[in-house]
Amino acid sequence: MLLLIAALSMVLQGTASTVYMEPEQVLVDIVDVDWAPWASISPDRSNWLMVSSRRNPSIEELARDELRLAGMRFSPETLAPTRTSRYTGLSLMRYPGLENLDVSGLPEDLLMLRVSWSPDGSMAAFTRETAEGVELWVVDAALAEARPLTGPRVSLTANEFPEWLPDGSGLLCCMAPEDMGEPPAEDPVPHGPVIQETAGEEAPTRTYQDLLENPYQEDLFEHYLTAQLSVVGLDGSIRSVGKPGIIWYFSVSPDGSCILVSRLHRPFSYSVTAGRFPETVEVWDTEGNVLHGVAELPVRDRIPLATGSTFEGPRSIEWRSDSDADLVWVEALDGGNAGMEASPRDRVLMLEAPFTGEPVVLMELESRFSGIQWGSDTLAMVSEWWWPTRNWRSWWIRPGEAGSEPVLLFDRSLEDRYGDPGTPVMTWNERWSLLTVPPSTLRVRGRRRRATGLSWTYSTWVPWRLRGCSTLPPPSSRNRSGSPTAYATCFSSPARLPETIPTTS
């Protein structure tokens, strides 16, 4: 009996003092080895931010509360997404001298979520997560100094990170409302049953994780997703834009005069995630006044299951990056149902500021819209895809010439890796927005494509070989006519040194 009591005492003592055990140091070193830093290159190419990441989060971070609401996963303590990578170090490298500089002013316990350069490359911004919340910081590239702009008030629950204003005078971001208060308390006694209504129509739906389940979760979702859109100046000043709401996304026009804003609102759905909740899309001025209503979208819970299906109404709403403030969006012409026969299926439209006229049809597509890259009034590249046939096509259009016929550039299979033309060479315009290089006279060694007189350079990976061209165009370079000069670095095989060939347009 004495032996049994002694053994039980040892077990209880061991249980009370148990802590996390670690393997031998050699195994710890293997697991915790630092990853190589990745580079974030400034628009003028003169500075490279070397960002250090880590392999594993700490136990302290993993122990924090996590809310899972309507497909969103975030920390109620910091208002930051919990499934986004964190970065732990930052340094500067001058180019082309390759001089490495430590950034002064950084805190020791640095956890960054996102890094972005100002349009002129003189400053970089990043969000820092602390135990109290998320702060907004900037780095002065010339001085290699970091400083905070805000306290822990930045809200990232909707995964919308701060965006630089086109003139580089500040950033647009979501802030926690000053009157946010405490989260709603759950009533242990339900006021009634949870009722979901149908319209008597067949509406198959996919299975999603972390859906809302009751009115209490609806209140939590609204509480934590509500944010105040704000402009944060480089001096730390904060100016509210509009009223608080569930800001789903925002985007500043290229000339900085307007803001494209999407807001979610009730009634929320228990069968789809937040991205399909009722949505209001508007154009605001910089004070938050509504200039134009773009779309009023209902809950999208009846999208057909066929791959390539979408919802009716405006989608893929964005600014045209090579103009002042022109809106572009896509609408389905087949009811969004990829399972039915239709021709055409999608229509690309554009509406110029001040948004009082009628939208212009840029193109109608036989398949589903994939994306668009802007160049000028005579150059834009529109892509479409169709899953049943695995087809992908790309077109050259002239957005400034209404009624002009599109020119087919590529027509291939999505599964044809060797036939992939790659990505068009890009450069910067005067607003520091990415644009495709005007291709009329572009000539470089390496892979080149021609289509109806159009010459274009591409870079693409193929097995065992890198062929084509990649670019590092200095925005300040101009030829005699004032247009940008593109620099194309061409690779014919891994063993061959690259050649830098200046080409003008």
Q: What is the pLDDT of residues 349-376, one digit of tens each?
A: 999 999 999 999 999 999 999 999 888 8
Which whole-number Å values give the CA distances from 113 to 38, 472, 485, in the listed order?
Answer: 14, 26, 34
Better pLDDT: 35 or 297 = 297
Q: Grade residue 487 by pLDDT with cuts at 50, 70 and 90.
A: very low
Instruction: Average the pLDDT over 452-469 and give the result.
Output: 36
3-state secondary structure string across 203-225: CCCCCCCCCCCCHHHHHHHHHHH
Residue-level pLDDT at 484: 33
Mean pLDDT of 58-66: 84
Average pLDDT, stretch 15-28? Answer: 80
pLDDT digits (tens, 9 = 90+) for 183-242: 999 888 777 777 777 666 766 777 899 999 999 999 999 999 999 999 999 999 999 999
190 or 15, higher pLDDT: 190
Q: Regarding predicted confidence, which is higher, 8 or 444? A: 8
What are the C-alpha distances in Å from 94 to residues 64, 168, 391? 38, 21, 44
Residue 191 pLDDT? 75
Which one has a higher pLDDT value, 203 or 33? 33
Beta carbons within 10 angstroms of residue 150's beta carbon: 22
Alpha carbons within 13 A on the beta-carbon side of 448? 15
Mean of pLDDT over the chain:
82
Distance CA 18, CA 193 (A): 45
pLDDT digits (tens, 9 = 90+) for 112-127: 999 999 998 999 999 9
Q: What is the pLDDT of residue 462?
A: 35
Residue 91 pLDDT exceeds 90: yes
Tokens of 184: 């709603």
46 DSSP 8-state letter: S
The pLDDT, as a whole number, for residue 317 is 98
- The more confident residue out of 185 and 473 is 185
CA distance 465 to 473: 23
The confidence score (pLDDT) of residue 433 equals 55
Mean pLDDT across the stretch 300-324?
94
Q: Is residue 493 scored above 90 in pLDDT?
A: no
Q: Where are the domains of the chain?
A: 33-183+208-252+289-297, 437-505
Give the 3-state secondary structure percentages of the chain, helix then strand then coil, rounded to 5.
10, 40, 50
> Confidence class of residue 43 from pLDDT cuts 50, 70 and 90?
confident
Q: What is the pLDDT of residue 16?
A: 53
* Closest of 133, 136, 42 to residue 96, by C-alpha: 42
pLDDT at 431: 59
49: helix, strand or coil:
strand
| Mean pLDDT for the stretch of residues 445-449 | 36
pLDDT, one tens digit per residue, over 321-349 is: 889 999 999 999 999 999 999 999 999 99
**pLDDT, position 246:** 98
Q: Given a cut of 80, is residue 147 above it in pLDDT?
A: yes
Confidence class for position 36, pLDDT limits 50, 70, 90: confident
Give residue 430's pLDDT: 63
pLDDT exceeds cutoff 90 at 390 = yes
Tell me if the bond preceding 354 is cis, omega within 30° of 0: yes
Q: Which residue has the higher pLDDT, 21 or 270?
A: 270
Could you please report the per-residue DSSP string of 9-27?
Answer: HHHHHHHHT-------HHH
